[in-house]
């Protein structure tokens, strides 16, 4: 089998690094040439040292600057995984034009369309925040009515891709959690409740023995990062093995619908922290500067049936994450 080229857009972020590591781990079985884009200069040296086979390209997603260099020295990728995003809801609310210019991958799609045969599979990361949040266990076919700029930029991205790409998979992920990356990314602040590394923040604040507020009336289906990576790898393998184009939309969440309080209680239980430190409050009691959907739990039946992937429970994911942090 000829070597396949994989490009991870936003490869220095939390999910991006895990995706690069996932492709690297299976390289012995399927030959991949791997590259990633980064915006900050230079890219993290620790990442390059750990995965020396990677090619790094500086790209500005707003302008498309840098994609020609990929064409010249890497060539047309077989798979593009777009992990790049302005993903902090409050930051999107403050600067809607920036959210739209980064989260709608127009420069990526334009670049892919420049190839004579546009056969590349685009795997794009979307979000559960495209849903309105007024019921439990949303399905992919439910009408998406986002309540904040972040969700609106992501649904705009989905629409743009579906109208301008012939070969794509859009993954609506919930809160992604798991082990830290090769090149550590900053842990989330308590106000960035849709952000990555929130579990590490919970562990950190509870370990100090201080009372902390958590919402009892906001529900998500947190997904273990390695399950997201497994989904991306399965889609890539499917594309390579059967050669067929796809136009796919999948919810990618964990199997459990949990509140912020329940998330924190699980961490406290596994760590042996005093659960009385967890103060249950309503999400409406805090002004986060952005409207947050109440219940955007997702039905993942389609994910299980299409790819045969069954994400692990929130509790098991937390256990694995804490174990990795201890090593």
Q: What's the CATH code of the domain at 62? A: 3.40.50.720
When divided into structural domains, the chain yields a total of 1
Q: Please name the residues in contact with 27: beta carbons below 8 A apart, sequence gap of 6 or more.
A: 34, 53
Question: Distance between CA 244 and CA 250 in Å, rounded?
Answer: 18
Let me know if residue 48 belongs to a domain. yes
Q: Please name the residues in contact with 106: beta carbons below 8 A apart, sequence gap of 6 or more.
A: 160
Residue 64 burial class via C-beta count within 10 angstroms: exposed 0-12, middle 13-18, buried 19 and up: middle
Structure confidence by residue, pLDDT tens digits, 136-181: 999 999 999 999 999 999 999 999 999 999 999 999 999 999 999 9
The confidence score (pLDDT) of residue 242 equals 87
Let me know if residue 272 belongs to a domain. no
The confidence score (pLDDT) of residue 27 equals 58
Range with the poorest average pLDDT among 85-99, 173-187, 223-237, 264-278: 173-187
Residue 191 has pLDDT above 50, yes or no: no
Tell me how far CA of residue 47 lies from CA of 27, 32, 37, in angstroms: 17, 18, 13
**pLDDT confidence of 193, banded at 50, 70, 90?**
very low
Let me know if residue 280 belongs to a domain. no
Range with the poorest average pLDDT among 36-45, 113-122, 196-205, 287-296: 196-205
The confidence score (pLDDT) of residue 327 equals 65
**pLDDT confidence of 194, banded at 50, 70, 90?**
very low
Q: Angle, to 10 degrees, between the axis of helix 14-25 and the axis of helix 225-242?
A: 50
The confidence score (pLDDT) of residue 210 equals 87
Let me know if residue 266 belongs to a domain. no
What's the domain range around 136? 4-259+286-326
Which uninterrupted H or E stretch holds 281? Answer: strand 278-281
The pLDDT of 12-25, averaged and rounded, is: 94
Helix (H, G, I), strand (E, B), or coil: what is residue 181? coil
The confidence score (pLDDT) of residue 40 equals 87
Let me know if residue 91 belongs to a domain. yes
The pLDDT of 310-317, averaged and rounded, is: 98
Instruction: Look over the chain and give the mean of its residue pLDDT values, rounded to a whole number.
Output: 92
Tell me how far CA of residue 123 lies from CA of 84, 92, 171, 248, 317, in angstroms: 11, 22, 7, 9, 24
The confidence score (pLDDT) of residue 249 equals 98
The pLDDT of 116-128, averaged and rounded, is: 95
* Counts for the chain of helices (H) and strands (E), in that order: 12, 13
Let me know if residue 62 belongs to a domain. yes
The confidence score (pLDDT) of residue 198 equals 77
| Residue whose pair of structure tokens reads 């509870």 in the numeric block | 206
**pLDDT confidence of 272, banded at 50, 70, 90?**
very high
Q: Beta-carbon neighbour count of residue 247 at 10 Å?
A: 12
Helix (H, G, I), strand (E, B), or coil: what is residue 304? helix
Let me know if residue 119 belongs to a domain. yes
Let me know if residue 17 belongs to a domain. yes
Full-model pTM: 0.95
């Amino acid at each position: 089998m000829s070597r396949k080229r994989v490009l991870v857009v936003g490869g220095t972020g939390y999910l991006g690094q895990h995706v690069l590591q996932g492709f690297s781990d299976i390289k012995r079985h399927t030959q991949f040439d791997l590259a990633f884009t980064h915006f900050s200069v230079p890219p993290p040296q620790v990442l390059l040292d750990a995965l020396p086979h990677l090619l790094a390209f500086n790209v500005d997603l707003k302008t498309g600057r840098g994609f020609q260099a990929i064409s010249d020295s890497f060539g047309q990728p077989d798979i593009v995984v777009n992990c790049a995003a302005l993903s902090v809801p409050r930051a999107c609310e403050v600067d809607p034009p920036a959210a739209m210019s980064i989260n709608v991958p127009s420069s990526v799609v334009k670049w892919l369309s420049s190839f004579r045969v546009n056969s590349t599979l685009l795997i794009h990361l979307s979000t559960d925040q495209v849903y309105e949040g007024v019921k439990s266990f949303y399905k992919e076919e439910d009408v998406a009515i986002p309540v904040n700029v972040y969700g609106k930029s992501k649904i705009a991205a989905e629409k743009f891709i579906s109208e301008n790409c012939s070969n794509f998979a859009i993954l609506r992920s919930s809160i992604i959690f798991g082990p830290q990356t090769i090149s550590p990314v900053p842990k989330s602040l308590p106000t960035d409740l849709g952000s990555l590394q929130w579990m590490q923040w919970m562990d950190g604040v509870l370990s100090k023995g201080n009372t902390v507020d958590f919402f009892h009336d906001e529900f998500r289906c947190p997904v273990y990062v390695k399950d997201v990576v497994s989904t991306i790898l399965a889609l890539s393998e499917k594309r390579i093995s059967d050669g067929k184009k796809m136009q796919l939309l999948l919810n990618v969440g964990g199997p459990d619908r949990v509140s912020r309080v329940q998330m924190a209680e699980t961490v406290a239980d596994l760590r042996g922290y005093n659960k009385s430190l967890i103060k249950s409050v309503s999400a409406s009691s805090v002004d986060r500067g952005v409207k947050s959907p109440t219940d955007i739990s997702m039905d993942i039946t389609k994910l299980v049936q299409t790819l045969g992937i069954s994400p692990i429970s929130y509790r098991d994911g937390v256990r694995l994450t804490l174990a990795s942090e201890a090593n």
